[in-house]
């Protein structure tokens, strides 16, 4: 009889899914002095969510997509790849700069794309949609949505508790759409407790166990988005890692979707927040003398790698050693390199209210020296880049350059200072999502 019961249980453990839409009010990362009511744009695909487009708007958007260029770099792939630059600027109607960024997408060409001279690798609509998402999350308050597939255990009275918790969450997600947040949170907390108790019985080795591998996966798929919507982000992150480790590659697609939901939700929950705290999201490691340093030899490759926006994350007066630590810089300096040889240097002090931005315009190029060093140089005027007078330009030696990290060395020309050189570590700015 026990054997028969176990066989029936194994047969009964099938899972059905129901797609449910989660809706919540996304808050802007950057809190402006006055809420936005309208925008204008130089492209119909560049927009701010839930706002009308009209002349005389509160915020003026300008963006562009540059031609894709071929690049070969080991961090992209062993085969040829591409570099795709696109940019966006946001100003108030009184012409005050709010935001400027240059993004550079690096990909291999394994998906069958081809580079056409003078054209982006994908349609303009794709990149302007990406920029729209960026500025909307930065400045707007809008109804955000995300689809999830809730998991139900079919034809099994032994899993009524699991299904009851799923029903709690289904109703809670509907309450969130109606802005009944408190009641929704109460239901989600009940569900989390039920699933937590069930997971204590998880047994991957026995397919006839009540909470076997298949049922555990179903619970994970319900529990992770629930934790995210409860703003229990650390628990959600740990469970995503745990589930990927336990369930392998087939769980990877779901895990990726939950990481995206997690990013969206965290941006809303922590808003308003300092932009510098969310733009460079990866773990930053200090580049030191113990790091395997590398700089591509080909100047054309270096120019393509430099294109984009970078933020200064570390300033040292000596080459950092493995014993040094990454210390917070006192101001936010951004370098915006355009492929046409223009670079904008942006200054913004951390203790000053946003936005308080100034952009300085320079020209830039890369060069080798006879002793084998690599530099990028900047000048106020384009013809000064070729000047034989080193007072006409500034030279930055490139110590290390990868896809996302750069270490440069700059000689201090102040005769009253006892500092000979400055070492700047820069990290590439990527879209928020």
H runs (alpha helix) in 36-101: none
Average pLDDT over residues 312-333: 87
pLDDT value, residue 352:
55
Whether the predicted pLDDT of 156 surpasses 70 = yes
pLDDT value, residue 8:
45
Confidence band, pLDDT 50/70/90 cuts, at residue 390: confident
Name the percent of the chain lying above pLDDT 90.
Answer: 78
Confidence band, pLDDT 50/70/90 cuts, at residue 354: low
335: CB partners within 8 A, 6+ apart: 309, 310, 311, 312, 343, 344, 345, 346, 426
pLDDT value, residue 79:
84
Burial class (CB in 10 A: 0-12, 13-18, 19+), 49: middle
pLDDT value, residue 350:
55
pLDDT value, residue 185:
97
Domains with residue ranges and CATH for the chain: 2-13+151-270 (1.25.40), 39-140 (no CATH), 299-428 (2.40.128.280)
pLDDT value, residue 5:
45
Least confident of 63-72, 170-179, 211-220, 273-282: 273-282
Q: Is the model more confident about 276 or about 339?
A: 339
Torsions phi, psi for 187 (to 5 deg): -65, -40
Average pLDDT over residues 57-68: 97
Q: How far apart are CA 308 and CA 323, in angstroms?
A: 31
CA angle 232, 233, 238 (to 5 degrees): 110
Could you count the other beta carbons within 10 Å of the beta carbon of residue 87? Answer: 21
- CB distance 140 to 49 below 8 Å: yes
Confidence band, pLDDT 50/70/90 cuts, at residue 7: very low
Q: In this structure, what DSSP letter does residue 22 have?
A: E
Whether the predicted pLDDT of 10 surpasses 60 = no
Whether the predicted pLDDT of 28 surpasses 80 = yes
Least confident of 246-260, 276-290, 362-376, 396-410: 276-290
Q: pLDDT digits over 222-239, tens only?
A: 999 999 999 999 999 999
Q: Name the range with the highest mean pLDDT among 20-34, 104-118, 263-277, 419-433.
A: 419-433
pLDDT value, residue 351:
54
pLDDT value, residue 11:
44
Average pLDDT over residues 309-324: 94
H runs (alpha helix) in 110-231: 124-139, 160-177, 181-199, 213-229
Whether the predicted pLDDT of 281 surpasses 80 = no
Whether the predicted pLDDT of 379 surpasses 70 = yes
Whether the predicted pLDDT of 1 surpasses 70 = no
Whether the predicted pLDDT of 4 surpasses 50 = no
Whether the predicted pLDDT of 88 surpasses 50 = yes
Torsions phi, psi for 159 (to 5 deg): -125, 30
Q: Is the model more confident about 344 or about 332?
A: 344
- CB distance 79 to 70 below 8 Å: no
Whether the predicted pLDDT of 399 surpasses 90 = yes
Confidence band, pLDDT 50/70/90 cuts, at residue 6: very low
């Amino acid at each position: 009889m026990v054997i028969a019961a176990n066989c029936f249980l194994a047969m009964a453990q099938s899972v059905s899914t129901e797609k449910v839409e989660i809706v919540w009010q996304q808050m802007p990362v950057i809190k402006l002095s006055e809420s936005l009511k309208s925008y204008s744009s130089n492209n119909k695909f560049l927009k701010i969510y839930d706002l009308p487009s009209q002349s005389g708007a509160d915020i003026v958007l300008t963006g562009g997509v540059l031609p894709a260029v071929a690049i070969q770099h080991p961090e992209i792939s062993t085969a040829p790849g591409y570099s795709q630059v696109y940019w966006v600027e946001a100003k108030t109607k009184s012409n005050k700069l709010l935001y400027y960024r240059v993004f550079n997408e690096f990909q291999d060409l394994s998906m069958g794309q081809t580079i056409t001279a003078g054209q982006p690798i994908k349609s303009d609509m794709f990149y302007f949609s990406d920029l729209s998402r960026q500025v909307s999350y930065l400045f707007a308050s809008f109804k955000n949505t995300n689809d999830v597939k809730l998991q139900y255990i079919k034809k099994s009275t032994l899993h009524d508790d699991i299904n009851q918790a799923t029903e709690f969450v289904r109703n809670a997600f509907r309450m969130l759409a109606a802005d009944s947040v408190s009641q929704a949170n109460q239901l989600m907390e009940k569900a989390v407790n039920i699933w937590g108790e069930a997971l204590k019985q998880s047994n991957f080795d026995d397919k006839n166990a009540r909470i076997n591998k298949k049922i555990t996966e179903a619970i994970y798929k319900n529990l992770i988005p629930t934790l995210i919507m409860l703003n229990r982000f650390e628990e959600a992150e740990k469970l995503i890692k745990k589930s990927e480790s336990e369930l392998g590659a087939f769980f990877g697609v779901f895990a990726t979707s939950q990481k995206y939901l997690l990013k969206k939700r965290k941006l809303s929950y922590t808003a308003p927040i300092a932009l510098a705290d969310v733009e460079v999201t990866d773990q930053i490691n200090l580049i030191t003398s113990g790091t395997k340093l590398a700089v591509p030899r080909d100047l054309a490759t270096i120019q393509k790698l430099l294109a984009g926006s970078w933020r200064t994350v570390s300033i040292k007066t000596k080459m950092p050693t493995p014993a040094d630590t990454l210390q917070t810089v006192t101001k936010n300096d951004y370098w915006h390199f355009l492929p046409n040889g223009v670079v904008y240097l942006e200054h913004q002090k951390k203790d000053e209210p946003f936005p308080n931005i100034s952009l300085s315009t320079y020209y830039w190029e890369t060069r080798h020296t006879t002793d084998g060093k690599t530099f990028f140089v900047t000048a106020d005027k384009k013809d000064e880049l070729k000047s034989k007078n080193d007072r006409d330009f500034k030279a930055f030696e490139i110590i290390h350059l990868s896809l996302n990290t750069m270490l440069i060395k700059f000689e201090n020309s102040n005769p009253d200072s006892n500092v000979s050189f400055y070492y700047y570590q820069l990290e590439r700015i990527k879209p928020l999502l």
